[in-house]
Amino acid sequence: MKKLIIANWKMSPASIKEAKTLLAGYRRLIKNPRAEIVAAPPLNYLFLFERSSRFKLGSQDIFWENEGAHTGEISPKMLQSSGVKYAVVGHSEKRALGENDAIINKKIRAGLEAGLKIILAVGEKSRENPDFWKTIKHQLLAGLKGIKKKFAKNIIVAYEPVWAIGSGKTDSPEKLFEITILIRKVLAEIFGRNKALKTPILYGGSVEPENAASFLRVDGINGLLVGSASLNAKKFSAIAKAAR
């Protein structure tokens, strides 16, 4: 399985001009990636990416309806027809704004029906409570509730401990290994063992060129979800190169 490296630009960069420069840096520095590279820019920058490019397109979020009177929303089908292949759902920054498991579940269903690959983001707020993994389990069970088994192949789980996002703190490879096992156990409850073994699990949270390889070496980790380092073409290309 090819590693999957996702660039989550979040609400950056601040202008078209800077977005063009960033993308030009990606094009210059990431020539023949061995990993599947996905760029998830703000949607108003999507048009900068040509369809046949070496970067697959991702969306940082989706809506749960495909048409109608939903001011301000963009549907999964619209994204799919614009060349978007992947969609992140349940990012902790969306959860922090009130997105709950029921909404996340509706978004996942709609995204899958529209033919998108869904990156479900899960993760605990803190490690202090030894039961922290119950949060992860709950987020997986609730987010994937009622999802048909035939869609399992289009599900990717991004494990992003909230305390590691944008903080410079990271998980240890040993702990990460344990958590991938827990995640696959829950996925096996939902989709069965075989499908669970095939579901890619990504790590996200303060990924940098210096630590990318140590996460990618963890058994059971199939890629990375990169935030702030993806806004620097040099850093992001170094992370992409760590995936071989």
- Residues of this chain that bind ligand PGA (CB under 6 A): 8, 160, 165-166, 204-207, 225-229
Nearer of residues 163 and 191 to ligand PGA, judged by Cβ = 163
Minimum Å gap between C-beta 227 and ligand PGA is 2
Instruction: Report the alpha-carbon distance of residue 151 to residue 117 in Å, rounded.
Output: 9
Our answer to whether residue 160 is catalytic in this structure is yes
101-113 and 132-143 helices, crossing angle to 10°: 40
Minimum Å gap between C-beta 194 and ligand PGA is 29
Contact indicator for 238, 18 with CB cutoff of 8 Å: no
Q: How many residues does the chain have?
A: 244
Our answer to whether residue 70 is catalytic in this structure is no
Nearer of residues 118 and 190 to ligand PGA, judged by Cβ = 118
Q: Is the peptide bond before 13 cis (omega within 30 degrees of 0)?
A: yes
Give the H or E element holding residue 178. Answer: helix 173-191
The residue nearest ligand PGA at its CB is 227
Residue tagged active-site, from 36, 91, 93, 124: 91
Nearer of residues 160 and 171 to ligand PGA, judged by Cβ = 160
Contacts of residue 30, defined as CB under 8 A and 6 or more positions apart, other chains included, come to: 37, 54, 55, 236, 237, 240
- Measured CA distances, 98 to 44, 90, 95, 103, 104 (Å): 24, 10, 5, 10, 11
Nearer of residues 80 and 211 to ligand PGA, judged by Cβ = 211
Residue tagged active-site, from 160, 178, 189, 210: 160
Minimum Å gap between C-beta 48 and ligand PGA is 21
Residues forming the active site? 91, 160
